[in-house]
Structure 1
Amino acid sequence: MFNKDRIYLTINHRGGLEDGFHCSILYALKDEPGKGSGKNTDHLFHVVNQDRRTRTRIPWTYETRMANQYNSDSLIGRILLAKVDTSNRDHVLGLLYQILSQVAVRPNDPKFTCASWAMEAVWRLQREGVITLNAPVDAALWDRVHLVAKDCYRLVLGGNGRRPTVDIAEHGASAIPTYDFRG
């Protein structure tokens, strides 16, 4: 079990907004580059409505990019959705790119958020057999995710706003609160 990649639903803080957090799907390789590495080996899937360079609002847009979770200054928690044997990496990554690119983005819907996109993404991944969760993907699961996000906010940010009280880059994966939702 230890030699497996992971699929996470990630929770990132949005600068001091305790009830506001960003959700994404992250495929993390078993062999992480480690502390301070400039290597981006994780596959990040999410929707954004803010330009990363200019910080200006944009219509909701689907984005995939390579990332390094240990270099994130906003990651406060992970929900484990699946472990993937490294021999299946290419196949599962192909499924993720295919399935997640088809999750609807609704730029004109005022109720659409990164969290609603992520929950639909999780539902589709479960429907397609990529992940198996310990509960149905429904409003009750979203309530659990929201409670986990609040707990992560408290554990990592300690109520101080923007800066984490733990150094993820220094302490690695053990510093990131992780919750297992697998079936």
Structure 2
Amino acid sequence: MKSVLFACAAVGGLGAAPALGQAAPAAETTEASPAQIVVGTPVIDPSGAAVGTISSVGPNYVVLKTDKHEVRLSKDSFAFRPKGLTFSMTKGQLNAQVEQSVANLDELLKPGAMVHDRQRAMVGTIEAVEGDLVTLKLASGAMVRLPKSGFAPGPNGVVIGMTAEQLQAQLPAPGGG
């Protein structure tokens, strides 16, 4: 069987692996206004302590870079306060949450584990985990290799950051290269 390597869109939310900055950002905004989140914006916690800096901005998400991780979060996770853009967790709490999520993911990424998409549809089962790559057998029987950073713990086990249809559409046509 042919094995294909894909760059998988990262899964949003705190449950995602720290390499979330790998998702291709949308056009980045460079001018700030009180109601905009832009690249380079510092983020503070409710006490005013630094959490990190916005490293990329997408349509409905941002990537927040702390001293240890880059985390993709919903824009709704932030509040505009007089002291600056505010996030509800401290830098230490956010780093700990990401590290716990990564540890949980490593426990879930095992051969035979079922994988769902972000809409909770079944995608396939894990065939192998080798280094930073996961081989996934799709329902169609096709085998694909995805980076671990494209997976996250979800409500029913492991999820990927794209739909099953989006993943299937990236496969080469039968008989093609």
TM-score where L is the length of structure 1: 0.29
TM-score where L is the length of structure 2: 0.30
Which has the higher Rg, Structure 1 or Structure 2? 2
More strand by share: 2
